[in-house]
Amino acid sequence: MSANKDEENDAMRWAAALGSKSSHPLAAAIVTEFTGKYTAYFVNDVEEIQLPDVNNFRTMEGRGICGVVEYHFVDIGNLEMLENLGVKLTPEFETEYDRLCAESKTVVFVCVDEKLAIMISLADVIREESHVAVRWLQDMGVHLAMLTGDSKEMAAAVQKQLKLNSCISEMKPDDKLKWITNMKEEHTPRKHRCCRR
């Protein structure tokens, strides 16, 4: 959703350029949406997919990413990012945002020069093997908790689909680390297993 088609095309191209500098799955989805070839872009360095250069790339932990693309300040992130920029949703954007949240979609905002340019909605697709892995771990007596930065609605939808024991949403990376540390301290290693990558 955007104010006009030209703005949408430019903002999406700039967002894809910025997203190509991030390892976050939401950034990967934005790059894929624009190029149609996320993996090809990074693995084969496909020449026909041209993304503009990015300068001053920065990650805003728990809020999004930002940088300068073609002389424009571009920010991609969540509602907290908008608040930090002092950007308010117009009634039209707010109505669409509420609708997308009600559908359990993740909403990403793209601001150009500190003005909201576009809103992108993303939905989690749960792979079939995830259901098998969850059942297998639960059959072993493992309590499964999902820690996510996603909205409550999005997290609840995934928790319901996977039948997870618990779910905590709207967490920043530091919050997740604290939660894991607390769980490790509270419980014996035999009952709770923690895997790291």
Q: How sure is the predictor about 188, in pLDDT bands with cuts at 50, 70 and 90?
A: low
CATH, domain 5-122, list 3.40.50.620, 3.40.50.300, 3.40.640.10, 3.40.1110.10: 3.40.1110.10
Q: Is the pLDDT of residue 160 over 60?
A: yes
pLDDT at 41: 46
Average pLDDT over every residue of 84-94: 92
Cα distances (angstroms) measured from residue 48 to each of 8, 33, 107 = 21, 15, 29
Question: DSSP per residue over 1-64, as a string?
Answer: -BS-HHHHHHHHHHHHHHHTT---HHHHHHHHHHHS-HHHHHHT--TT-----EEEEEEETTTE
Say which residue, 135 or 3, is predicted with more confidence: 135
Extents of the domains making up the chain? 5-122, 128-187
Say which residue, 120 or 45, is predicted with more confidence: 120
* Cα angle value 104/129/153 (rounded, 5°): 15
Class of domain 128-187: alpha beta
- Average pLDDT of the chain is 84
Per-residue pLDDT reduced to its tens digit, 26-45: 888 888 888 775 444 455 55
Say which residue, 146 or 37, is predicted with more confidence: 146
User: In percent, how much of the chain has pLDDT > 90?
Assistant: 39
